[in-house]
Amino acid sequence: MSGLSRGHQLRCGLLALLVLAGCGNAGTLPPAVGGQPLPSLAPMLGKVSPAVVNISSTTHRKIRDPFFDDPIMRQFFGLPMAPPREAIQQSLGSGVIVDAAKGYILTNNHVVAGADDIKVTLTDGRSFKAKLIGTDPATDIAVIQIPGQNLTALPLADSKKLRVGDFVVAIGDPFGLGQSATSGIISALQRQGLRNSGFQNYIQTDASINPGNSGGALVNLDGELVGINSMIYSPSGASAGLGFAIPSDLAASVMQQLIKSGHVARGSLGVQSQDLSPRIAAALGIKDTRGALITEVTPDSPAARAGMKPGDLVVADDGKPIDDAQDLRNAQGLKPLGSTLALDVVRDGKHVPISAKLAADANTLSGDVLDPRLSGASFVNLPPDVRAQGINGVGISDVQDGSRAAAQLAPGDIVIQVNNRATPTLDAFRQALAAHPRSLLLTIARGGQLGQVRLQ
């Protein structure tokens, strides 16, 4: 085995362990076979573990009592305006040092979002107060920085080369117990549709990922970072063998933009699309069974200038299949502003190649120009597949940490009404705010539940 790489040796060793475990009793494996010691992940973990850190964040929120805030109730009962209460929220997670010289750490946005204080603890016991460099809720990536010396960083692997069946190890701090490592394989690639919004291209693994692992490392057997552990699917809240990680290539691309400017600039084709259902395909006489059906093209948008039309069916981008509307959204959102998409479009039964350069999204409204109370929030029209579920409103695509809107609004919220006036589109939303109402009451859909938020 001397001619094989360390990764190949470990893979062969894991297979040998499986064979031995099936042939002998549990707990009776010999320390060596044929004079060769059994393979172990310990040498690799010894090098990797110092680069995986524990992150604890603290958020202070001002909470007002809606009963005491209601002017009618105060007038009726003669109640004074009650001062807001302060609620303290704490979050635990993990992170990965990716630049030892500059102290940059990759983690999940949901680990540090809105935090007033971020503390990083290394495996050697050192603790540092971290600086937030930037966050990207759409991909759930954040970058923080610590001033430590003699840090250990993980090299990034090319996650595009991952294959289903490759061995991986997940490292993090589950349940705040301390750093732990679990092993498994890549179960699937390019998983999508796992959250209500955002851009998704998840790695699925059966390596155990539990609460607290968020932001931790998913590494290959050579100790290279292939993904940032992000979420699980589980009926109980604990690992059920369905863990998901953000590919290192995507995380690195987002990180570079966050370090450079503090935010991610994304482009858009300027289209609305929907999934191709069998009924719609039959009605339009389309023989294809997959693709993103263009339902609307914004005038003077990149798509309009490239010649795209409503009724076009996008089936591929750069040779990669486009199976549905989410695929097309990912194709736009996961590429930098200014990138060119090479689309394969089916029109009237014929394949038409179309190249379109992504431009700044014209279908986004900034809260700063709508109303000062919405400063920091970005609003978008809901995609057709969401509206098809009977949800009519405008989505919140981004909320800047520390902004005025961040006190009560969050990415993924859907604004159904403004002062009891329906806002099914951005135009309706803009009109509802045009009069600059003195009181601003938003009806919000969040996590499948409706609620109201009064902005001061």
The domain that contains 241 carries what CATH number? 2.40.10.120
Last residue of a domain, one of 360, 388, 408: 360
The answer to whether residue 374 scores a pLDDT higher than 50 is yes
Would 83 be classed as within a structural domain?
yes
Same domain, 450 and 354: no
**269, 262 Cβ separation under 8 angstroms:** no
What would the two tokens of residue 408 be?
């009560």
Residue 272, phi then psi, degrees to nearest 5: -110, 140
Same domain, 259 and 278: no
CATH at residue 381: 2.30.42.10
DSSP-derived secondary structure for 357-424: E-EE-TTEEEHHHH-GGGTTEEEEEPPHHHHTTT--SEEEEEE-TTSSGGGT--TT-EEEEETTEE--
Residue 156 DSSP class: B
For the entire predicted model, the pTM comes to 0.64
- What sign for the dihedral angle of Cα 75, 77, 83, 88? negative
Same domain, 112 and 221: yes
SS3 label, residue 364: strand
Range of the domain at 352: 268-360
For the chain, the domain total comes to 4
**272, 296 Cβ separation under 8 angstroms:** yes
The answer to whether residue 74 scores a pLDDT higher than 80 is no
Last residue of a domain, one of 360, 389, 409: 360
Would 198 be classed as within a structural domain?
yes
Same domain, 112 and 161: yes
205: how many CB neighbours lie within 10 A of its CB? 28
The answer to whether residue 46 scores a pLDDT higher than 60 is yes
Give the closest residue to 86 by CA, choosing from 59, 115, 61, 117: 61
For residue range 199-225, list pLDDT tens digits in order: 778 899 988 887 778 888 999 999 999
Same domain, 212 and 67: yes
Candidate from 73-77, 123-127, 247-251, 363-367 with smallest mean pLDDT: 73-77
- Beta bridge partners, 60, equal 88
SS3 label, residue 443: strand
Same domain, 85 and 225: yes
Q: What is the pLDDT of residue 275?
A: 82
Same domain, 104 and 246: yes
Give the closest residue to 18 by CA, choosing from 2, 29, 9: 29
What would the two tokens of residue 351 be?
């394949």
Q: Which amino acid is at 144?
A: I
Would 1 be classed as within a structural domain?
no
The answer to whether residue 67 scores a pLDDT higher than 80 is no
For residue range 256-310, list pLDDT tens digits in order: 888 887 777 777 888 888 888 888 888 777 777 788 889 888 887 888 889 999 9
**331, 363 Cβ separation under 8 angstroms:** no
Same domain, 81 and 193: yes
Same domain, 299 and 211: no
Same domain, 346 and 384: no
The residue ranking higher by pLDDT, 32 or 407, is 407
Would 427 be classed as within a structural domain?
yes
For residue range 298-346, list pLDDT tens digits in order: 887 888 889 999 989 999 998 888 888 878 888 887 777 778 899 999 8
Same domain, 356 and 368: no
Same domain, 97 and 241: yes
Provide the annotated active-site residues: 110, 140, 214
Mean of pLDDT over the chain: 79
